[in-house]
Amino acid sequence: MSGDDEDQSRSLLNLVRSLPKAELHLHIEGTLEPELMIEIAKRNGLLDSLSFHDANAARQAYLFKNLQGFLNIYYQGCNVLQHEQDFFDLTSAYLERAAVEGVIWAEIMFDPQAHTQRGVAFEAVVKGISRALTAASNSLGIHGCLIMNFMRDLGADAAQKMLDEALPFKHLITAVGLDSAEIGWPPSQFKAVYARAAHEGFKLVAHAGEEGPPDNIWAAVKDLRVSRIDHGIRCLEDEKLIHHLRDTQIPLTVCPISNEKLKVYEGQLSQKLRQLLTCNLVITLNADDPAYFGGYENVMAHPLQQSYC
């Protein structure tokens, strides 16, 4: 790279870092840093349930090499979250960091089923997260909303029950989404619960086309009637789908760093982003699970810079 190219690259990185940002694809459970995990585990008397007992050992465990390694540590983290204060502290810690990085709007996804199936009250989960967002809005100037995700591998019946439990708190929740294991759980299975959620006034989004095929994106659009696709990187395998997404301006909340680390596609990260941009698709770059993948918002400047330069 020449001196001029280096200057251009540096200027672009600095520009991206200085801009106000919106985070549209962020799993709050995926922001649990090792130090906070240990702190909450100690507070709840759960330190012995972890496979590590200090922050340094936890940080080493975060250096997983595959999806299963990620899931193992991710669910250990979920298990220490027991009370409303835990969810408040978790969300507050993320929002404080996000505000420093220039995030002014955050759409926070949460997985209540990961907690209610352990006996944690739904009310504790949603109120803890919502209370932290309200506090951050007042003190940090960062605003946002909550997206309640259904865990697709628990099935459609469980999603219906989760929606039942959420309805008394729907004033705190803007949208519903669909996440967790994609293979073997096509969006069409959740058509009924999405129709019901829409009737209740929720906005609709869904993870699709991450590890699953382009057909899952089609199903999310046609069967679930979502207004955006979370991930969606594999739309590049279907030319007709690319045209449809471009014509309808359905956005993709792309998570390049987590996708690359979990090896959900072949090829280089910068090449995939360049393809999406060349197709004139509406995309945003997002953190996903930044505590585990290292992809907080300012880190996103690097793949963006590589795609343009």
Task: Domains for the chain: give ranges and CATH numbers.
Answer: 3-32+81-308 (3.20.20.140)
Reply yes or no on whether 210 is catalytic.
yes
pLDDT at 68: 73
Q: Which residues pair with 21 in a beta bridge?
A: 103
- For the chain, give the mean pLDDT: 91
Report d(CA 100, CA 104) in Å as an integer.
Answer: 10
Q: Say what the pLDDT of residue 305 is.
A: 52
pLDDT at 303: 58
Listed as ranges, residues in the chain with pLDDT below 70 are 1-9, 295, 297-309
CA distances to 45, 109, 160 from 157, in Å: 33, 21, 5
Of 208, 238, 237, 210, nearest to 221 (Cα)? 208
3-state class (DSSP) for residue 175: strand
Q: Is the pTM of this model over 0.95?
A: no
Spatial CB neighbours of 204, under 8 Å, sequence gap ≥ 6: 175, 176, 177, 194, 197, 198, 224, 225, 226, 227
pLDDT value, residue 3: 58
Distance CA 179, CA 162 (A): 14
pLDDT at 262: 83
Q: Which residue matches tokens 């549209």?
A: 24
Q: Count Cβ atoms within 10 A of the Cβ of residue 2 and give its class: 0-12 exposed, 13-18 middle, 19 or more buried.
A: exposed
Tell me which of 107, 182, 210, 260 is the catalytic residue.
Answer: 210
